[in-house]
Amino acid sequence: MPRFNINQLAGWEPPVERGDLSRCETSGKEMHPTERAAEATAAWREKQSGTPIGTYYCLWCGAWHLTSSQR
């Protein structure tokens, strides 16, 4: 019987390693392809650093970025 993976069922994506992503030509920030991918990476980095990290959609490149700005 195959093993059940709740992460696959929920559509969870692991955080992407630094350096594996393209960078936005306008901001120079890492380009996350989906909001969920950006939020997963933000949550992981927030846990590692203890600093709140947010996400936002970039109108210039059409990808998601991380930010430490509190808006």
> What whole-number distance in Å separates Cα of residue 36 and Cα of residue 15?
10
Q: What CA–CA distances, in Å, run from 34 to 24, 44, 50, 54?
A: 14, 16, 23, 14
Residue ranges making up the domain that contains 66: 27-71
Query: In the prediction, which pLDDT does 56 show?
Result: 96
With respect to residue 17, please indicate whether it lies within any of the assigned structural domains. Answer: no
With respect to residue 20, please indicate whether it lies within any of the assigned structural domains. Answer: no
With respect to residue 13, please indicate whether it lies within any of the assigned structural domains. Answer: no
With respect to residue 61, please indicate whether it lies within any of the assigned structural domains. Answer: yes
**Number of domains making up the chain:** 1
Mean pLDDT computed over every residue of the chain: 81
DSSP conformational letter for 39: H
What is residue 54's three-state secondary structure? Answer: strand
> The pTM is what?
0.69
With respect to residue 10, please indicate whether it lies within any of the assigned structural domains. Answer: no
With respect to residue 11, please indicate whether it lies within any of the assigned structural domains. Answer: no
Q: What is the pLDDT of residues 7-62, one digit of tens each?
A: 555 555 555 565 667 999 999 999 999 999 999 999 999 999 999 999 999 999 99
Q: How many residues does the chain have?
A: 71
With respect to residue 9, please indicate whether it lies within any of the assigned structural domains. Answer: no
